[in-house]
Amino acid sequence: MAPLALAVTIGDPAGVGPELIVEAWARRKERRLPPFFVVHGREVLLAAAQARGIDIRVEPIARRDQAARVFPDALPVYGDLDADYTPGAPSRDGAKLALESLGDAAQMTVDGYAGGLVTAPISKSRLVEVGFAHPGQTEYVSIACGFNAGAGTMMLAGPRLRVVPVTVHIALEDVPGRITQDAILGAAMATVPALRRDFGIARPRIAVAGLNPHAGEDGRFGNQEAEIIAPAIQTLCEAGMDVRGPFPADGLFSPPALATFDAALCMYHDQALIPFKALDFEDGVNVTIGLPIVRTSPDHGTAFGIAGTGAASAGPTIAAIRLAGEIMTRRSLPPGAARG
Ligand SMILES: NC(=O)c1ccc[n+]([C@@H]2O[C@H](COP(=O)([O-])OP(=O)(O)OC[C@H]3O[C@@H](n4cnc5c(N)ncnc54)[C@H](O)[C@@H]3O)[C@@H](O)[C@H]2O)c1
Ligand SMILES: N[C@H](C(=O)O)[C@H](O)COP(=O)(O)O
């Protein structure tokens, strides 16, 4: 039987997602990509291919199990919803298509019709206008799996660095109040098994960043390190995990420090994602850990300003598809067999 293909969402049709999916398909052999199909947006894909100067065949499939057979010769598309292709000009209809594609693709992955879910970029503020009530796709997918919104944990994974933000899409002024021992324990307890199971790292090493400059400088610049972060690290060490810190965040991503850990737990979104995108943007993947389904996404957003111009790099989309395939394969092997 052919392996299950990945379900790829169309993302916002006014963003760079559709053209990057098309380019990923065009480079499927060179980059050894696992089979995938797109959920809705056939006309958008054809128009995006034309704008990018890519000659492509797009084939509608009536059943998802046809995707792997069609994939070598044409980009399979399941579902007949569509929208106008207006790169750089997001619309309500485009946001509706993005939401339908996400909903259907997530559901078919949960139901076992796809081997994993790869989400193209959406605009969170645009989706809110058509009824999306979540901070991001991570929470949406967690709920689609039947859990609460916080069940999935965001990790950004690249060749040089993996980061897990303990708090994510909240205002900076709300961060200190959300740094709790439970939040840190939850992030670490999602990260360690994911590094073992999904990344094949037998003994994961976790570094934890402080919140304040110089990790608080012995209490002179803040007390969260001593009162919250260090006790959480101690609890994790007592449970047998290799967790160190809190480290001053500005030194944690220097080249020598990078070699000392497999993932860094960071206290807020930009503390994690700024070093990540500076170091690993081109191959950067946003992966949701801690869920029964595989879900990845490129590390960038809709990039409306360059959509349709040909300037957007397909590297992160290709990396997201590849990593989803790798995790799918690792999860199908007996425990321990995929560790390197
Ligand atoms: N995976 C996702 O769904 C995701 C991730 C991040 C942001 N977003 C959403 O995207 C929208 C725009 O967010 P933003 O402007 O902060 O981030 P962005 O990633 O869209 O753009 C940031 C910068 O990176 C550039 N860029 C992005 N992708 C690129 C690519 N593939 N190749 C070359 N350059 C690229 C853009 O031109 C821009 O200069 C927001 O609405 C946000 O919610 C979605
Ligand atoms: N925080 C991510 C980033 O900035 O790259 C991004 O917004 C994606 O979030 P979701 O996967 O939850 O939509």
What's the CA dihedral at 319, 321, 324, 326 to 10 degrees?
Answer: -70
Residue whose CA is closest, atom 40 of ligand 1?
Answer: 123
CA 225 to centroid of ligand 1, rounded, Å:
32
Residue 318: pLDDT band (50, 70, 90) is: very high
**Average pLDDT estimate for 35-59:** 97
CA distance 114 to 105: 8
Q: What is the pLDDT of residue 185?
A: 98
Q: Give DSSP secondary structure letters for 53-77.
A: T----EEEESSGGGHHHHTTTSEEE
CA distance 41 to 82: 5
Q: What is the pLDDT of residue 335?
A: 61
**Average pLDDT estimate for 268-274:** 98
Per-residue pLDDT tens for 161-211?
999 999 999 999 999 999 999 999 999 999 999 999 999 999 999 999 999
Pairing mode of beta strands 285-289, 153-157: antiparallel
CA 90 to centroid of ligand 1, rounded, Å:
14
What's the CA dihedral at 87, 91, 94, 99 to 10 degrees?
Answer: 130
Q: Nearest CA to 2 among 56, 51, 65, 45?
A: 65
CA dihedral sign, ordered 111, 94, 120, 128: negative
Enter the ipTM.
0.96
Q: What is the pLDDT of residue 337?
A: 57
At residue 275's C-alpha, the angle toward residues 273 and 281, to 5°, is 75
**Average pLDDT estimate for 70-95:** 96
Place of tokens 């810190």: 245
304-326 b/e (C-beta count within 10 Å ≥ 16 → b): bebbbeeebbbbbbbbbbbbbbb
Residue 225 has a CB neighbour count (10 Å cut-off) of 28
Query: Could you tell me the CA-to-CA distances from 166 to 52, 132, 233, 260 in Å, in that order?
Result: 38, 23, 13, 20
Nearest ligand to the C-alpha of residue 124? 1
Q: What is the pLDDT of residue 3?
A: 74
Q: What is the pLDDT of residue 47?
A: 97
Pairing mode of beta strands 205-209, 242-247: parallel
Residue 230 has pLDDT above 50, yes or no: yes
Place of tokens 């897990």: 164
Query: Could you tell me the CA-to-CA distances from 134 to 15, 125, 126, 140, 242 in Å, in that order?
Result: 20, 10, 12, 6, 33
Residue 340 has pLDDT above 50, yes or no: no
Q: What is the pLDDT of residue 306?
A: 98
What are the DSSP E strand ranges found in 69-139? 75-78, 117-118
CA 316 to centroid of ligand 1, rounded, Å:
11
Ligand 2: nearest atom to the Cα of 156: 5
Q: Is the CB of 137 under 6 A from ligand 2?
A: yes
Choose one of 117, 128, 287, 300 to mutate for the ligand 1 pocket test, by most ligand atoms within 8 angstroms of C-beta: 300
CA distance 94 to 133: 17
**pLDDT, the chain, mean:** 95
Helix (H, G, I), strand (E, B) or coil at 254: coil
Residue 1 has pLDDT above 90, yes or no: no
Question: Identity (one letter) of the amino acid at 10?
Answer: I
Radius of gyration of the chain, Cα coordinates, nearest whole angstrom:
20
Domains of the chain with bracketed CATH: 1-149+291-340 (3.40.718.10), 153-289 (3.40.718.10)
Query: Could you tell me the CA-to-CA distances from 320 to 48, 169, 290 in Å, in that order?
Result: 19, 21, 17
Question: Identity (one letter) of the amino acid at 128?
Answer: V
CA 163 to centroid of ligand 2, rounded, Å:
13
Residue 2: pLDDT band (50, 70, 90) is: low
